[in-house]
Homo-oligomer: A and B are copies of this chain.
Amino acid sequence: MEQGKGWFSKPRVETFSDGVFAIIITILVLELKVPHIEHPKDVAELASALWFILPKFFSWVISFFMICVIWVNHHRIFESITHVTHRIFWLNAYLLLWCAFIPFPTALVGDYPFNPLGLFIFGIVLGLMGLGFTLLRRAITKEQLLAGHINPKAFKKGNKNALIYGVILYLAGGISAWIHPIIALVIFAFIPVYFIFFNVQAGIENA
């Protein structure tokens, strides 16, 4: 049995990870607090109070789609492997650590959208998360866990993409915040847009 070699049940690791992703993506919204207004029926007062939290709404939308992108990449990787070893489990735990942390830098950017430090931390956290994907992919190649239906060359090319789009782009976003916050926000918003609209083919090649 799998047990005899210290392996893990792939479905339970997937269920656990899916649970973590589903919770992160849902609790993000708890950071959006209903603003307090003096006159409960006053439309203008409520409108201006909501206008004030609009940056929080946009940082929430970006984080939501980023987590969807992470879920897609996670799904592709776990579909590609035959079993979960000790190393894969703990690299996955490292990945989930930074995913579970995302609500904090998201709230930071939502509260202080024009403070470069918040955007820098957001980029670093996402970059450290992306590093998890790169380490996972290297371990899969090293431990020869690729399932038979996966093309090893395409998988290796995916490793390179994961490094470029999953680590370097996030770090670039974080660093560019020191030049101007808007550049960082544009780079961060670009990442899910790229994955959703332009990476269809890449997804097919990699997987």
Query: Which residues of chain A have a CB within 8 Å of any CB of chain B?
Result: 1-6, 8-9, 12, 14-16, 18-30, 32, 34, 37, 40-43, 46-47, 50, 61, 64-65, 68, 71-72, 75-76, 79-80, 86, 89-90, 93, 96-97, 100-101, 103-104, 107-108, 111-112, 114-118, 121, 149-150, 196, 200-201, 203-204, 207
If the complex has contacts A16-B18, A114-B41, are A27 and B25 also in contact, measured as CB distance less than 8 A?
Answer: no
The docked-state distance in angstroms from the alpha carbon of A104 to that of B4 is: 36
Given A18-B12, A90-B196, A200-B6, check contact A27 B28 (CB 8 Å): no
Closest to A26 in B: B23
Measured CA separation A169–B19 after assembly (Å): 30
Complex CA–CA separation, A121 to B118 (angstroms): 29
When chains A and B are docked, how far (Å) is the Cα of A19 from the Cα of B42? 37
Interface of A: prevailing SS: helix
**Contact across chains for A25 and B100 when beta carbons are under 8 A apart:** yes
The one of B6, B37, B79, B114 in contact with A204, judged by C-beta atoms closer than 8 angstroms, is: B6
CB A134 to nearest CB in B, in angstroms, measures: 19
Give the chain B neighbours of A75 by CB distance below 8 A.
8-9, 12
| Chain B min CB distance to A151 (Å) | 9
Q: Is the CB of A6 within 8 A of B207?
A: yes
| Distance, CA A12 to CA B128, complexed state (A) | 25
Q: Quick check: A117 and B149 within 8 Å, CB to CB?
A: no
Q: Given A3-B207, A96-B25 in contact, is the A104-B34 Cβ separation under 8 Å? A: yes
A112→B37 contact, CB < 8 A: yes
